[in-house]
Structures are given as structure tokens and as C-alpha cells.
Amino acid sequence: MPLTTKKVTVHNGDKIFVKMSLSEPWLIGAVTGQKTHGLLARTRLLTTLHSFVEQACNGELDTRAAEEEGGDEYDPMQEIEVDDGTHSRSRGGGGWDPSKRARYTQNKAKNRLVTVTVPAVSPEEDPMSTSTRTIQLYVVDRRQVWLDIEDVDWALRYLHMQFVLKGVPVVSPDDAGPEAPEAQAPPEAFLTPEKRKANDPW
């Protein structure tokens, strides 16, 4: 299944960004090996990435122009995006009223790049890990997440481990665990690193 990509011109050439969404067929297949929608609902990485986009739009994170040299003249209207009522924050209990006028919300990061530091591995895979990596996002609007293609392999592994472990951290084989009998805990709670590695396609 093809990826949904966007080519962005930066100061030293072109970069490819990949759309990351729970409904993207290629992402569902790459992470789960299946085609069923909704399988990624218990993963949390995309929620984290979306929060970075929201913070960038609010001006809470440093961003830089995608094209630093030879770019178009700054247009303050680029910082404005239309909220047509389809965004979750704009819908009330009664749903969207098409008779209402569109609202405009400020987007300080529209068509800009944001670089953030994230955990190198998911906490489910290694709860004690302190290693990090730097990733880059391209901001289109508050709803979409576009990830640098160079960071996609990291994201796939991260999502795969969250999907396989269902939010339950890996337990060391030397860990005695809680006093309750093991039979009372879900099987995934006692996955050892060896068992996890055997099922890990990466």
C-alpha cells in the first residue's frame, strides 16, 4: 500500500514527509500486518506527535521556515486557518451547525518545520530507557501529522511495540512481580525480553 507523502523544499534541497494517521491503510498494515481499521486505537505515539503539532501551532515550540533561502515573502495570513466545525474542539454536543459561520484560529507554524526530542524506544519496550532521538515534523494544520520519512522506521517500531504489548511494559525475567499469582495477570504482562524479541519483526 502506498504511503501518503508530501515533498517540502528546504534550504538544502527537498525533504519527504509522510502522513501519519490511525486511518492510513499503509500504516495499519505495516504495524499490525492486517488491514482492519481501529487496530491502532490503543497505541499512543500518534497522539504524542499530534500534541507537538498543536504546541507548534500555538507558538509554544520553536519552528523554522521550510525554505530558508529564496522563499516567498512572509504573509501573516499564513498564520490563520479556518475551523469549519469539523475539528473535534469546535463541535458541541449537538454536532456541527452548518448555518454557523466558520471560525478562524491562529496557526503560528503553518508550513513550517518543528524539531522535537522523543524517546528512542517506547516505554512498553523498555520502561527504564533514557535514550532519545530527534525527529522532524512538517506542520500543515492542527489536524494532520506529517513525519520526516527518515523517522518513519523509528515510528513503525515504536507503534509496533505499543500494539503488541497493548500498553503493558516488558517485565524482566528476574523481576518477582507483585504478590498476586501470575495466573491473575494478563499474559502480556509477563512477556520477557526474549519472548518479545522472538515476535519482533525488527
- One-letter identity of residue 106: Q
Residue 160 falls inside a structural domain: yes
Number of domains in the chain: 1
pLDDT above 70 for 85: no
Residue 32 falls inside a structural domain: yes
Q: Which three cell numbers stand for residue 47?
A: 497522539
CA dihedral 21, 8, 155, 108 (to 10 degrees): -70
pLDDT above 50 for 70: no
Residue 147, SS3 per DSSP:
strand
Helices (H), the chain: 25-32, 45-57, 152-165, 193-198
CB 12 within 8 A of CB 19: no
Pick the residue with more confidence: 25 or 175? Answer: 25
Residue 58 falls inside a structural domain: yes
Instruction: Give the pLDDT mean for 101-125.
Output: 87
How much is the pLDDT for 11? 82
End-to-end CA distance of the chain: 19
pLDDT above 60 for 68: no
Q: What is the pTM of this model?
A: 0.69
How much is the pLDDT for 1? 73
Range of the domain at 129: 5-79+107-169
pLDDT above 70 for 107: yes
Instruction: Give the pLDDT mean for 17-29.
Output: 95
Residue 200 CB neighbour total at 10 angstroms: 13
120: left (phi over 0), alpha (psi -120 to 50) or beta: alpha
